[in-house]
Amino acid sequence: MSRLLSCLVLAAGSLPAQFVPAAFQPPASYETAQFVLVPLGPGLEKLDFDAYMSSIDHLKATFTNGGKWPHPGITMAEALKDVEGEIANFKARKAFTYAVLTKDKKREVGCVYIAPSRQPGFEAQVRMWVTKADFDRGVDAEVEKLARAWVSAAWPFKKVAWPGRDK
């Protein structure tokens, strides 16, 4: 089970039977002038690993769920298993994790997670992170802006929660 999805399941019980309509095709990618979002899966484990390992304390503060991810002892084998879990959830249409890559696709800036919402009145929730270095450069606000526009335009949800971001 993915790092974020496992936290959601532990916190709230089982997931809904159908998260997105059967006819909906989740986007295969999303490109902007600065970034490319692609489903997080095998082939990206090294970029993902490098991104989150560079920002362990920052990510623990970003996701205040008390989870154990990330921690300094993660191995590349565990990183591969993690991205395999993310793509399995994507293919099963349970949750959708996208790596946010630089335009040249040589570095992961962070991730965007689209999952069923646990908040009443919301169909989905979106969580995201960027590396500490990118956060310090103001990239978090840029990624949030693009993620909000993309989710609004390309996804079938009428009401989306942005935990930790909406006041």
- CB of 148 within 8 A of CB of 162? yes
> For residue 115, what are the CA distances in angstroms to 95, 107, 148?
5, 24, 14
- Alpha helix ranges (H) inside 2-65: 3-12, 45-53, 56-62
Q: Over range 80-98, report the average pLDDT.
A: 96
φ, ψ dihedrals at 10, nearest 5°: -65, -35
Pairing outcome for strands 160-161 and 124-130? parallel
The pTM for the full model equals 0.89
pLDDT of residue 167: 57
DSSP structure class, residue 118: -
Q: Residue 8 pLDDT more than 60?
A: no
Which residues are 127's β-sheet partners? 113
pLDDT, tens only, 16-52 = 568 999 999 999 999 999 999 999 999 999 999 999 9
Burial class (CB in 10 A: 0-12, 13-18, 19+), 55: buried
Spell out the domains of the chain, with CATH numbers in brackets: 3-161 (3.40.630.30)
pLDDT, tens only, 116-162 = 998 899 999 999 999 999 999 999 999 999 999 999 999 999 999 99
